[in-house]
Amino acid sequence: MKHKTRLQKSFYTRNVHAVAKELLGKLFVRRIDREIISGIIVEVEAYDGSIDEAAHTFRGKTKRNEVMFEEGGLLYVYFTYGMHFCCNVVAGKANEGKAILLRALEPVEGIDRMALNRFGKKDINEKQLINLTNGPAKICEAFQITRSENGADLTGEEIFICDAPPLAKNQVETSVRIGIKKSVDLPWRYYIKDNPFVSGKPPLRGKK
């Protein structure tokens, strides 16, 4: 697949919610050993440490979250539950502590490679395809993203996001975020309506 123009720094250094919504429909790309794997971003969650207790940056800068305090356009990767990595797109200006969690992708290229990474085999059925990258940890496993990719420049050559036409407003749904215990009523989860690769049914609380 011929990749379109990749997103530049100016895309990421804006308001975290504008970036989050506009990431939907864009193509997340990784080069591994001269091979390309990619997926369309279909679900995200915004995190803003200035007012959001669920954000890693809410209580200030630490060694773990320092990438999230950088200027937008980097990949913030963290380890959770002692077993999973999750990746985020840093947004906004330096020292703002804002990022967008990639919750689900629709696989496009390199599906065999993703399947090997996730299931240890290339041949997968339809159900396994749906489950390939429909969750934050699944994305990192499929795309071989670990702590080594923390801080990766999204305008670089290894991991980047390609532009795509904006979605219509009626294609974007909003709900509260999933799997958090603080700031649970903030409706900061955005996803593509009726896309089968979204990670799950939206919570009803806070749904717009």
Beta strands 84-91; 75-80: pairing state: antiparallel
- Give the integer Cα–Cα distance in Å for 129 and 65: 32
pLDDT tens readout for residues 67-104 = 999 999 999 999 987 789 999 999 999 999 999 999 99
For 98-121, the pLDDT digits (tens) are 999 999 999 999 999 999 999 999
Residue 206 in this model has a pLDDT that exceeds 60: no
Residue-wise pLDDT tens digits, 7-50: 999 999 999 999 999 999 999 999 998 899 999 999 999 999 98
Domain ranges for the chain: 9-191
Residues in the chain: 208
Predicted confidence (pLDDT) at residue 178 exceeds the cutoff of 80: yes
* 97: alpha, beta or left? (left if phi > 0; alpha if psi -120 to 50): left
Q: Mean pLDDT throughout 49-58? A: 89
Judge whether 121 and 52 are in contact, CB under 8 Å. Answer: no
CATH number for the domain formed by residue range(s) 9-191: 3.10.300.10
Q: What is the pLDDT of residue 33?
A: 85
Q: Which amino acid belongs to residue 41?
A: I
pLDDT of residue 202: 55
User: What φ, ψ does residue 118 adopt, rounded to 5°?
Assistant: -90, -45
Nearest to 42 by CA among 204, 203, 196: 196
Q: What confidence tier does 58 reach under pLDDT thresholds 50, 70, 90?
A: confident
Tell me the pLDDT band of 2, cut-offs 50, 70 and 90: low
| pLDDT at 3 exceeding the cut of 70 | no
Kindly report the three-state secondary structure assignment for every residue of 67-95: HHHCCCCEEEEEEECCCEEEEEEEECCCC
User: How many angstroms separate the CA atoms of 4 and 20, rounded?
Assistant: 19
What φ, ψ does residue 18 adopt, rounded to 5°? -65, -45
The span from the CA of 10 to the CA of 12, in Å, is 5
Q: What residue type is assigned to position 206 of the chain? A: G
For tokens 């904006």, the residue is: 166
Q: Quick check: 177 and 189 in contact, CB under 8 A?
A: yes
